[in-house]
């Protein structure tokens, strides 16, 4: 074998982030299952609870997902009565996603889910805020810039929705 030795798994930051992400998502699962939704669906609902409606493109940008991942998720959510999708009246190349009654009715559970997870993490408020700030900084540092990825929150006629 080669003479270059890779650092062991317990020295890999990528693994720590991966393991932590899987553990946190798994901790959400029981509460979300009671509501009949998955973690990715919950993230979509959080954005829509904040904004009421947005284009598929804007939703993808906020969730850092590509259209190929988001579109099937939205189709399942629409079939389940959580969201509605329609063509934008101003520009039919764009699809607008909004809350359906069932999705809106789950909003009342959002604060309890958030508080339960904060408590389950066992972090003091300052530790929670520091961890969140560190993760956001890390994400920003390793994410491609808008010019590199072509992503952004502004609409572009050159990149309509599905």
Question: 27 near 39, Cβ under 8 Å?
Answer: no
| Per-residue confidence (pLDDT) for residue 153, from 0 to 100 | 44
| Per-residue confidence (pLDDT) for residue 151, from 0 to 100 | 45
| Per-residue confidence (pLDDT) for residue 148, from 0 to 100 | 54
pLDDT < 70 positions in the chain: 1-2, 145-162
| Per-residue confidence (pLDDT) for residue 138, from 0 to 100 | 95
| Per-residue confidence (pLDDT) for residue 144, from 0 to 100 | 80
How far apart are the C-alpha atoms of 162 and 120, rounded to whole Å? 38
Closest by CA to 83, choosing from 69, 96, 65, is 96
pTM here? Answer: 0.82
Question: 96 near 54, Cβ under 8 Å?
Answer: yes
SS3 content of the chain, % helix, strand, coil (to 5): 65, 10, 30
- Contact partners, residue 75, CB within 8 Å, separation at least 6: 85
How far apart are the C-alpha atoms of 126 and 144, rounded to whole Å? 29
Domains and CATH numbers, the chain: 10-106 (1.10.10.10)
């Amino acid at each position: 074998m080669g003479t270059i030795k890779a650092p062991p798994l317990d020295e890999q930051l990528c693994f720590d982030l991966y393991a932590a992400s899987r553990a946190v998502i798994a901790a959400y699962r029981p509460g979300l299952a009671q509501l009949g939704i998955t973690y990715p669906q919950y993230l979509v609902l959080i954005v829509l609870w904040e904004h009421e409606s947005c284009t598929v493109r804007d939703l993808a940008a906020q969730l850092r997902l590509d259209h190929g991942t988001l579109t099937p998720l939205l189709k399942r959510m629409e079939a389940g009565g959580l969201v509605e999708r329609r063509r934008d009246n101003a520009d039919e190349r764009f699809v607008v996603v909004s809350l359906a009654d069932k999705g809106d009715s789950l909003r009342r559970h959002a604060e309890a889910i958030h508080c339960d997870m904060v408590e389950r993490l066992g972090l003091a408020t300052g530790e929670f805020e520091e961890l969140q700030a560190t993760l956001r900084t890390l994400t920003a540092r390793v994410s491609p810039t808008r010019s590199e990825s072509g992503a952004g929150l502004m609409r572009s006629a050159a990149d309509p929705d599905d």
